[in-house]
Chain A
Amino acid sequence: MPSLKEIKQRISSVTSTRQVTSAMKMVSAAKLQKAQQWILNARPYSDELDKILLSLATRTRRDVHPLLREANPEDVKSIAIIVVTADKGLCGAFNVNIIKKTEQVIKNHKNKNIELICVGKKGGTYFKKRGHTVREEYIDFFNKLKFDHSRDIMNLVTSSFLEGRYDQILIVYNEFKSAIQQNVVEKQLLPLHELEKTDDRFLASYLFEPEETALLEELIKKHLDVQIWRVLLESSSAEQGARMAAMDAATDNADEMIKDLTLEYHHKRQDKITKEIIEVASTAEVIR
Protein backbone atom coordinates (compact mmCIF):
# COMPACT_ATOMS: atom_id res chain seq x y z
CA MET A 1 0.00 0.00 0.00
CA PRO A 2 1.35 3.39 -0.93
CA SER A 3 1.81 5.85 1.86
CA LEU A 4 0.06 9.21 2.11
CA LYS A 5 3.14 10.99 0.88
CA GLU A 6 3.44 8.73 -2.17
CA ILE A 7 -0.17 9.33 -3.13
CA LYS A 8 0.33 13.03 -2.79
CA GLN A 9 3.34 12.85 -5.10
CA ARG A 10 1.39 10.90 -7.68
CA ILE A 11 -1.43 13.42 -7.60
CA SER A 12 0.94 16.25 -8.27
CA SER A 13 2.67 14.41 -11.09
CA VAL A 14 -0.63 13.51 -12.78
CA THR A 15 -1.76 17.10 -12.38
CA SER A 16 1.26 18.43 -14.22
CA THR A 17 0.84 15.82 -16.97
CA ARG A 18 -2.74 16.91 -17.30
CA GLN A 19 -1.60 20.48 -17.73
CA VAL A 20 0.67 19.45 -20.58
CA THR A 21 -1.96 17.36 -22.35
CA SER A 22 -4.62 20.02 -22.10
CA ALA A 23 -2.20 22.64 -23.40
CA MET A 24 -1.28 20.38 -26.32
CA LYS A 25 -4.93 19.88 -27.04
CA MET A 26 -5.51 23.62 -27.28
CA VAL A 27 -2.44 24.12 -29.47
CA SER A 28 -3.68 21.40 -31.81
CA ALA A 29 -7.12 22.93 -31.95
CA ALA A 30 -5.63 26.25 -33.03
CA LYS A 31 -3.37 24.60 -35.59
CA LEU A 32 -6.25 22.57 -36.91
CA GLN A 33 -8.22 25.68 -37.63
CA LYS A 34 -5.34 27.16 -39.54
CA ALA A 35 -4.77 23.98 -41.51
CA GLN A 36 -8.42 23.81 -42.47
CA GLN A 37 -8.25 27.36 -43.73
CA TRP A 38 -5.33 26.35 -45.95
CA ILE A 39 -7.38 23.54 -47.44
CA LEU A 40 -10.15 25.97 -48.27
CA ASN A 41 -7.67 28.38 -49.82
CA ALA A 42 -6.23 25.72 -52.08
CA ARG A 43 -9.59 24.69 -53.42
CA PRO A 44 -10.27 27.35 -56.10
CA TYR A 45 -6.85 26.79 -57.66
CA SER A 46 -7.14 23.05 -57.84
CA ASP A 47 -10.75 23.14 -59.06
CA GLU A 48 -9.88 25.51 -61.87
CA LEU A 49 -6.81 23.52 -62.82
CA ASP A 50 -8.73 20.25 -62.85
CA LYS A 51 -11.38 21.77 -65.07
CA ILE A 52 -8.84 22.75 -67.72
CA LEU A 53 -6.90 19.53 -67.46
CA LEU A 54 -10.00 17.39 -67.81
CA SER A 55 -11.29 19.11 -70.87
CA LEU A 56 -7.87 19.20 -72.48
CA ALA A 57 -7.26 15.54 -71.73
CA THR A 58 -10.61 14.47 -73.13
CA ARG A 59 -9.80 16.30 -76.36
CA THR A 60 -6.55 14.44 -76.83
CA ARG A 61 -6.02 10.72 -77.19
CA ARG A 62 -5.57 8.64 -74.10
CA ASP A 63 -2.08 7.38 -74.94
CA VAL A 64 -0.80 10.73 -76.05
CA HIS A 65 1.30 11.27 -72.97
CA PRO A 66 3.37 8.79 -70.93
CA LEU A 67 2.04 10.22 -67.69
CA LEU A 68 -1.44 9.15 -68.76
CA ARG A 69 -0.53 5.78 -70.22
CA GLU A 70 -1.82 2.95 -68.09
CA ALA A 71 0.42 -0.14 -68.06
CA ASN A 72 -0.88 -3.74 -67.85
CA PRO A 73 -0.83 -4.94 -64.24
CA GLU A 74 1.71 -7.64 -65.10
CA ASP A 75 4.03 -5.09 -66.68
CA VAL A 76 4.25 -3.09 -63.48
CA LYS A 77 7.62 -4.05 -62.03
CA SER A 78 8.62 -1.18 -59.88
CA ILE A 79 6.43 0.86 -57.58
CA ALA A 80 7.11 3.93 -55.48
CA ILE A 81 4.92 4.53 -52.47
CA ILE A 82 4.73 7.96 -50.93
CA VAL A 83 4.03 7.45 -47.23
CA VAL A 84 2.69 10.49 -45.44
CA THR A 85 3.03 10.32 -41.67
CA ALA A 86 3.60 12.97 -39.03
CA ASP A 87 6.90 14.21 -37.65
CA LYS A 88 5.75 13.71 -34.11
CA GLY A 89 3.90 11.13 -32.09
CA LEU A 90 1.29 11.64 -29.40
CA CYS A 91 -1.52 11.63 -31.89
CA GLY A 92 -3.25 8.35 -31.25
CA ALA A 93 -3.29 5.78 -34.02
CA PHE A 94 -2.51 8.35 -36.71
CA ASN A 95 0.96 7.08 -37.64
CA VAL A 96 0.31 3.43 -36.80
CA ASN A 97 -2.64 3.26 -39.19
CA ILE A 98 -0.54 4.62 -42.04
CA ILE A 99 2.31 2.22 -41.34
CA LYS A 100 -0.06 -0.76 -41.19
CA LYS A 101 -1.73 0.23 -44.42
CA THR A 102 1.62 0.68 -46.14
CA GLU A 103 2.77 -2.74 -45.01
CA GLN A 104 -0.39 -4.21 -46.41
CA VAL A 105 0.16 -2.46 -49.73
CA ILE A 106 3.73 -3.75 -49.82
CA LYS A 107 2.42 -7.26 -49.19
CA ASN A 108 -0.08 -6.93 -52.01
CA HIS A 109 2.76 -6.23 -54.44
CA LYS A 110 5.03 -8.98 -53.27
CA ASN A 111 7.03 -9.74 -56.40
CA LYS A 112 7.62 -6.15 -57.31
CA ASN A 113 10.41 -3.82 -56.57
CA ILE A 114 9.15 -1.29 -54.06
CA GLU A 115 10.73 1.94 -52.97
CA LEU A 116 9.33 4.26 -50.33
CA ILE A 117 9.30 8.00 -50.25
CA CYS A 118 8.63 9.01 -46.68
CA VAL A 119 7.06 12.29 -45.70
CA GLY A 120 7.23 12.86 -41.97
CA LYS A 121 9.77 11.47 -39.56
CA LYS A 122 7.73 8.59 -38.16
CA GLY A 123 7.33 6.59 -41.36
CA GLY A 124 10.94 6.98 -42.40
CA THR A 125 12.29 5.80 -39.06
CA TYR A 126 10.02 2.78 -38.96
CA PHE A 127 10.64 1.54 -42.48
CA LYS A 128 14.38 2.14 -42.47
CA LYS A 129 14.72 0.10 -39.32
CA ARG A 130 12.97 -2.78 -41.02
CA GLY A 131 15.19 -2.78 -44.06
CA HIS A 132 12.87 -1.30 -46.66
CA THR A 133 14.32 0.83 -49.41
CA VAL A 134 13.64 4.43 -48.53
CA ARG A 135 14.43 6.54 -51.58
CA GLU A 136 13.90 9.91 -50.00
CA GLU A 137 12.74 11.41 -46.73
CA TYR A 138 11.05 14.73 -46.28
CA ILE A 139 10.95 15.76 -42.66
CA ASP A 140 10.30 18.71 -40.39
CA PHE A 141 8.21 20.90 -42.61
CA PHE A 142 4.69 20.40 -41.35
CA ASN A 143 5.19 23.36 -39.07
CA LYS A 144 5.80 25.72 -41.93
CA LEU A 145 4.24 24.04 -44.89
CA LYS A 146 5.06 25.68 -48.21
CA PHE A 147 4.06 24.94 -51.75
CA ASP A 148 7.73 24.28 -52.58
CA HIS A 149 7.60 21.10 -50.54
CA SER A 150 4.96 19.50 -52.68
CA ARG A 151 6.78 20.69 -55.81
CA ASP A 152 9.96 18.92 -54.69
CA ILE A 153 8.08 15.67 -54.21
CA MET A 154 6.26 16.08 -57.52
CA ASN A 155 9.52 16.71 -59.40
CA LEU A 156 11.12 13.63 -57.89
CA VAL A 157 8.28 11.27 -58.74
CA THR A 158 7.49 12.58 -62.23
CA SER A 159 11.10 12.61 -63.35
CA SER A 160 11.71 9.09 -62.00
CA PHE A 161 8.49 7.95 -63.60
CA LEU A 162 9.40 9.40 -66.98
CA GLU A 163 12.89 7.88 -66.75
CA GLY A 164 11.17 4.53 -66.29
CA ARG A 165 12.47 3.92 -62.79
CA TYR A 166 8.93 3.40 -61.55
CA ASP A 167 5.89 2.04 -63.36
CA GLN A 168 3.45 3.22 -60.77
CA ILE A 169 3.34 5.81 -58.01
CA LEU A 170 1.05 5.32 -55.03
CA ILE A 171 0.41 7.55 -52.08
CA VAL A 172 -0.80 6.53 -48.62
CA TYR A 173 -2.09 9.24 -46.33
CA ASN A 174 -4.68 10.19 -43.72
CA GLU A 175 -7.68 11.88 -45.22
CA PHE A 176 -9.28 14.55 -43.09
CA LYS A 177 -12.92 13.63 -42.50
CA SER A 178 -13.69 15.70 -39.44
CA ALA A 179 -11.83 16.93 -36.40
CA ILE A 180 -12.23 13.52 -34.78
CA GLN A 181 -12.20 11.21 -37.77
CA GLN A 182 -9.40 10.32 -40.15
CA ASN A 183 -9.48 7.80 -42.96
CA VAL A 184 -6.42 6.07 -44.30
CA VAL A 185 -6.43 6.39 -48.07
CA GLU A 186 -4.36 4.67 -50.73
CA LYS A 187 -4.40 6.44 -54.06
CA GLN A 188 -2.64 6.07 -57.39
CA LEU A 189 -0.87 9.25 -58.44
CA LEU A 190 0.76 8.03 -61.64
CA PRO A 191 -0.16 7.09 -64.25
CA LEU A 192 -2.97 9.52 -63.91
CA HIS A 193 -6.23 7.64 -64.34
CA GLU A 194 -8.75 9.73 -62.54
CA LEU A 195 -9.62 11.74 -65.59
CA GLU A 196 -13.19 11.05 -66.47
CA LYS A 197 -15.13 12.33 -69.40
CA THR A 198 -16.52 15.76 -68.83
CA ASP A 199 -17.99 18.51 -70.82
CA ASP A 200 -15.38 18.91 -73.52
CA ARG A 201 -17.19 21.83 -75.07
CA PHE A 202 -15.54 24.00 -72.48
CA LEU A 203 -12.37 24.38 -74.51
CA ALA A 204 -13.95 23.68 -77.88
CA SER A 205 -13.00 26.86 -79.67
CA TYR A 206 -9.83 27.73 -77.80
CA LEU A 207 -6.51 28.72 -79.20
CA PHE A 208 -3.55 27.02 -77.56
CA GLU A 209 -0.06 28.22 -77.03
CA PRO A 210 2.18 26.18 -77.10
CA GLU A 211 0.40 23.28 -78.79
CA GLU A 212 -1.89 20.98 -76.86
CA THR A 213 0.49 18.16 -75.99
CA ALA A 214 3.11 20.48 -74.54
CA LEU A 215 0.45 22.23 -72.51
CA LEU A 216 -0.89 18.90 -71.38
CA GLU A 217 2.39 17.88 -69.81
CA GLU A 218 2.64 21.13 -67.91
CA LEU A 219 -0.93 20.84 -66.76
CA ILE A 220 -0.49 17.27 -65.59
CA LYS A 221 2.55 18.27 -63.59
CA LYS A 222 0.74 21.18 -62.01
CA HIS A 223 -2.20 18.92 -61.29
CA LEU A 224 0.03 16.42 -59.49
CA ASP A 225 1.67 19.25 -57.68
CA VAL A 226 -1.63 20.45 -56.36
CA GLN A 227 -2.74 16.91 -55.56
CA ILE A 228 0.31 16.38 -53.40
CA TRP A 229 -0.16 19.79 -51.85
CA ARG A 230 -3.69 18.89 -50.90
CA VAL A 231 -2.57 15.55 -49.51
CA LEU A 232 -0.02 17.35 -47.33
CA LEU A 233 -2.64 19.79 -46.11
CA GLU A 234 -5.18 17.05 -45.47
CA SER A 235 -2.64 15.00 -43.61
CA SER A 236 -1.54 17.91 -41.48
CA SER A 237 -5.17 18.73 -40.62
CA ALA A 238 -5.83 15.10 -39.84
CA GLU A 239 -2.73 14.99 -37.66
CA GLN A 240 -3.87 17.96 -35.63
CA GLY A 241 -7.34 16.46 -35.34
CA ALA A 242 -5.94 13.14 -34.18
CA ARG A 243 -3.66 14.84 -31.69
CA MET A 244 -6.51 16.92 -30.38
CA ALA A 245 -8.64 13.82 -29.83
CA ALA A 246 -5.77 11.90 -28.25
CA MET A 247 -4.90 14.74 -25.92
CA ASP A 248 -8.53 15.22 -25.04
CA ALA A 249 -8.77 11.58 -24.03
CA ALA A 250 -5.51 11.87 -22.09
CA THR A 251 -6.80 14.91 -20.23
CA ASP A 252 -10.00 13.06 -19.36
CA ASN A 253 -7.98 10.10 -18.13
CA ALA A 254 -5.83 12.37 -16.01
CA ASP A 255 -8.95 13.94 -14.50
CA GLU A 256 -10.27 10.50 -13.68
CA MET A 257 -6.99 9.49 -12.11
CA ILE A 258 -6.76 12.64 -10.05
CA LYS A 259 -10.29 12.03 -8.81
CA ASP A 260 -9.51 8.44 -7.79
CA LEU A 261 -6.22 9.34 -6.20
CA THR A 262 -7.73 12.19 -4.23
CA LEU A 263 -10.44 9.87 -2.97
CA GLU A 264 -7.82 7.34 -1.93
CA TYR A 265 -5.81 10.08 -0.29
CA HIS A 266 -8.74 11.20 1.81
CA HIS A 267 -9.59 7.63 2.76
CA LYS A 268 -6.05 7.11 3.93
CA ARG A 269 -5.96 10.39 5.76
CA GLN A 270 -9.19 9.63 7.58
CA ASP A 271 -8.04 6.13 8.44
CA LYS A 272 -4.96 7.62 9.96
CA ILE A 273 -6.90 10.14 12.01
CA THR A 274 -9.33 7.48 13.25
CA LYS A 275 -6.42 5.28 14.19
CA GLU A 276 -4.80 8.11 16.14
CA ILE A 277 -8.02 8.93 17.97
CA ILE A 278 -8.49 5.29 18.90
CA GLU A 279 -4.96 5.20 20.18
CA VAL A 280 -5.45 8.32 22.29
CA ALA A 281 -8.77 7.10 23.58
CA SER A 282 -7.48 3.67 24.53
CA THR A 283 -4.43 5.16 26.24
CA ALA A 284 -6.74 7.43 28.27
CA GLU A 285 -8.83 4.41 29.17
CA VAL A 286 -5.75 2.57 30.42
CA ILE A 287 -4.49 5.52 32.46
CA ARG A 288 -7.87 5.95 34.15
Chain B
Amino acid sequence: MNDNNKPNNKLHLKITTPIGIFLEKDVDEIVAPGSEGYFGVQYGHTPFLTSIRPGILKIFAQDSEKIYSIHNGFVIVNFDEISILTEIIEKPEDVDKARAKRARERAEKRLKEKKEGTDFRRAEVALRRALARLQVSQK
Protein backbone atom coordinates (compact mmCIF):
# COMPACT_ATOMS: atom_id res chain seq x y z
CA MET B 1 0.00 0.00 0.00
CA ASN B 2 2.87 2.31 0.75
CA ASP B 3 4.99 1.07 -2.09
CA ASN B 4 5.23 4.01 -4.46
CA ASN B 5 7.10 2.20 -7.19
CA LYS B 6 4.30 -0.20 -7.79
CA PRO B 7 2.41 0.26 -11.05
CA ASN B 8 -1.17 1.35 -10.64
CA ASN B 9 -4.09 -1.01 -10.49
CA LYS B 10 -1.98 -4.06 -9.83
CA LEU B 11 -2.59 -6.63 -7.17
CA HIS B 12 0.36 -7.80 -5.18
CA LEU B 13 -0.06 -11.57 -5.01
CA LYS B 14 1.74 -13.79 -2.54
CA ILE B 15 1.23 -17.55 -2.38
CA THR B 16 2.63 -19.15 0.75
CA THR B 17 2.92 -22.85 1.54
CA PRO B 18 4.34 -24.61 4.60
CA ILE B 19 7.47 -25.41 2.64
CA GLY B 20 8.14 -21.88 1.49
CA ILE B 21 6.85 -19.00 -0.61
CA PHE B 22 5.56 -20.46 -3.84
CA LEU B 23 5.04 -17.27 -5.82
CA GLU B 24 5.20 -13.54 -5.26
CA LYS B 25 4.44 -11.02 -7.99
CA ASP B 26 2.19 -8.24 -9.25
CA VAL B 27 -0.86 -9.42 -11.16
CA ASP B 28 -3.98 -7.98 -12.77
CA GLU B 29 -6.58 -10.48 -11.71
CA ILE B 30 -6.98 -13.87 -10.13
CA VAL B 31 -9.81 -16.38 -10.21
CA ALA B 32 -9.90 -18.85 -7.35
CA PRO B 33 -12.15 -21.72 -6.26
CA GLY B 34 -13.78 -20.39 -3.09
CA SER B 35 -15.73 -22.58 -0.73
CA GLU B 36 -18.95 -21.06 -2.13
CA GLY B 37 -17.86 -21.13 -5.75
CA TYR B 38 -15.32 -19.56 -8.07
CA PHE B 39 -14.65 -15.87 -7.56
CA GLY B 40 -12.47 -13.26 -9.21
CA VAL B 41 -10.45 -10.55 -7.58
CA GLN B 42 -9.23 -7.35 -9.19
CA TYR B 43 -7.63 -4.20 -7.86
CA GLY B 44 -9.73 -2.48 -5.20
CA HIS B 45 -11.71 -5.51 -4.07
CA THR B 46 -13.43 -5.29 -0.67
CA PRO B 47 -11.35 -6.83 2.12
CA PHE B 48 -12.32 -10.43 2.04
CA LEU B 49 -11.39 -13.71 3.69
CA THR B 50 -12.47 -17.09 2.39
CA SER B 51 -11.45 -20.68 2.43
CA ILE B 52 -10.86 -22.50 -0.84
CA ARG B 53 -11.69 -25.95 -2.04
CA PRO B 54 -9.89 -28.12 -4.60
CA GLY B 55 -9.98 -26.47 -8.00
CA ILE B 56 -8.13 -24.34 -10.49
CA LEU B 57 -6.42 -21.09 -9.70
CA LYS B 58 -6.09 -18.67 -12.62
CA ILE B 59 -3.67 -15.81 -12.54
CA PHE B 60 -3.77 -13.03 -15.13
CA ALA B 61 -0.77 -10.75 -15.52
CA GLN B 62 0.23 -8.68 -18.54
CA ASP B 63 -1.85 -10.57 -21.08
CA SER B 64 -0.55 -13.86 -19.85
CA GLU B 65 -2.68 -16.43 -18.13
CA LYS B 66 -1.28 -19.02 -15.79
CA ILE B 67 -3.15 -21.87 -14.18
CA TYR B 68 -2.42 -23.99 -11.16
CA SER B 69 -4.23 -26.77 -9.38
CA ILE B 70 -4.86 -25.80 -5.79
CA HIS B 71 -6.29 -28.02 -3.09
CA ASN B 72 -7.20 -26.17 0.05
CA GLY B 73 -6.34 -23.13 2.06
CA PHE B 74 -7.37 -19.52 2.42
CA VAL B 75 -7.47 -16.36 0.37
CA ILE B 76 -7.10 -13.01 2.07
CA VAL B 77 -7.80 -9.91 0.01
CA ASN B 78 -6.83 -6.48 1.26
CA PHE B 79 -7.33 -3.77 -1.41
CA ASP B 80 -4.15 -4.16 -3.41
CA GLU B 81 -2.69 -7.13 -1.62
CA ILE B 82 -3.82 -10.68 -1.96
CA SER B 83 -2.41 -13.50 0.04
CA ILE B 84 -3.09 -17.17 -0.61
CA LEU B 85 -2.23 -19.72 2.03
CA THR B 86 -2.31 -23.27 0.81
CA GLU B 87 -0.79 -26.62 1.57
CA ILE B 88 -0.75 -27.97 -1.97
CA ILE B 89 -0.44 -26.05 -5.19
CA GLU B 90 0.91 -27.48 -8.43
CA LYS B 91 1.99 -26.19 -11.79
CA PRO B 92 0.46 -28.02 -14.78
CA GLU B 93 3.79 -29.63 -15.61
CA ASP B 94 4.18 -30.97 -12.08
CA VAL B 95 0.90 -32.86 -12.02
CA ASP B 96 1.24 -36.62 -11.89
CA LYS B 97 -1.42 -37.49 -14.47
CA ALA B 98 -1.46 -41.22 -13.93
CA ARG B 99 -1.88 -40.80 -10.21
CA ALA B 100 -4.65 -38.25 -10.64
CA LYS B 101 -6.46 -40.59 -13.03
CA ARG B 102 -6.27 -43.46 -10.59
CA ALA B 103 -7.51 -41.17 -7.82
CA ARG B 104 -10.46 -40.10 -9.97
CA GLU B 105 -11.45 -43.68 -10.74
CA ARG B 106 -11.17 -44.67 -7.12
CA ALA B 107 -13.29 -41.74 -5.94
CA GLU B 108 -15.92 -42.28 -8.65
CA LYS B 109 -16.19 -45.92 -7.76
CA ARG B 110 -16.66 -45.16 -4.12
CA LEU B 111 -19.34 -42.57 -4.85
CA LYS B 112 -21.18 -44.91 -7.23
CA GLU B 113 -21.17 -48.01 -5.08
CA LYS B 114 -22.71 -46.19 -2.12
CA LYS B 115 -21.48 -48.81 0.27
CA GLU B 116 -22.21 -48.38 3.93
CA GLY B 117 -19.53 -46.68 5.92
CA THR B 118 -18.18 -44.77 2.96
CA ASP B 119 -17.04 -41.28 3.83
CA PHE B 120 -18.81 -39.44 1.03
CA ARG B 121 -17.44 -36.05 1.87
CA ARG B 122 -13.93 -37.39 1.66
CA ALA B 123 -14.60 -39.18 -1.59
CA GLU B 124 -16.11 -36.05 -3.05
CA VAL B 125 -13.13 -33.93 -2.05
CA ALA B 126 -10.81 -36.55 -3.52
CA LEU B 127 -12.78 -36.52 -6.77
CA ARG B 128 -12.66 -32.73 -6.99
CA ARG B 129 -8.97 -32.76 -6.34
CA ALA B 130 -8.31 -35.35 -9.02
CA LEU B 131 -10.48 -33.50 -11.54
CA ALA B 132 -8.71 -30.21 -10.85
CA ARG B 133 -5.36 -31.88 -11.39
CA LEU B 134 -6.43 -33.50 -14.64
CA GLN B 135 -8.05 -30.34 -15.97
CA VAL B 136 -4.96 -28.29 -15.27
CA SER B 137 -2.62 -30.80 -16.82
CA GLN B 138 -4.61 -30.91 -20.05
CA LYS B 139 -4.28 -27.21 -20.73
Within 8 A of B (CB), among A223-241: 225-226, 229
* Interface presence of B35 (CB below 8 A): yes
Is B65's beta carbon under 8 Å from chain A? no
B12 to chain A, nearest CB (A): 14
CA distance A137 to B132 in the complex (A): 33
Cβ-defined contact, B16 with A206, below 8 A: no
Q: Are A45 and B49 in contact (CB under 8 A)?
A: no
Interface of B is mostly: strand
Contact of A41 among B20, B48, B50 (CB under 8 A): B20
Q: Assess the A206–B19 pair: CB atoms within 8 A.
A: no
Judging by beta carbons under 8 Å apart, are B74 and A52 in contact?
yes
Which of B16, B46, B47, B50 touches A44 (beta carbons < 8 Å)? B16
**Distance between Cα atoms of A45 and B73 in the complex (Å):** 11
| Cβ of A38 under 8 Å from chain B | yes
With beta carbons under 8 angstroms apart, the residue of B16, B51, B76 that contacts A45 is B16
Question: CB within 8 A of B17: which of A45, A52, A210?
Answer: A45
Q: State A52–B59 Cα separation when bound (angstroms).
A: 23
Cβ contact of B87, chosen from A56, A147, A203, cutoff 8 A: A147
User: Mostly helix, strand, loop or mixed at chain A's interface?
Assistant: helix
- In the docked arrangement, what's the CA distance between A46 and B87, Å? 11
Bound: A208/B50 CA distance, A: 6
A42-60 contacts to B, CB under 8 A, are: 42, 44-46, 48-49, 52, 56
CB within 8 Å for A147 and B47 given contacts A48-B85, A209-B34, A219-B74: no
- Mask, B2-34, CB within 8 Å of A = 1, is 000000000000001111110000000000001
- Cα distance, A56 to B47, chains bound together (Å): 14
Q: Which of A44, A151, A206, A222 contacts B48 (CB 8 A)?
A: A206
Name the residue on B nearest A204 (C-beta).
B47
Q: Is the CB of A45 within 8 A of B36?
A: no
Contact B49–A48 (Cβ < 8 Å): no
Task: Find the residue from A45, A49, A147, A222 having the highest chain B CB count within 10 A.
Answer: A45
Complex contact A52–B49 (CB within 8 A):
yes
Cβ of B36: which chain A residues have Cβ within 8 Å of it? 209-210
Q: Which of B20, B47, B50 contacts A205 (CB 8 A)?
A: B47
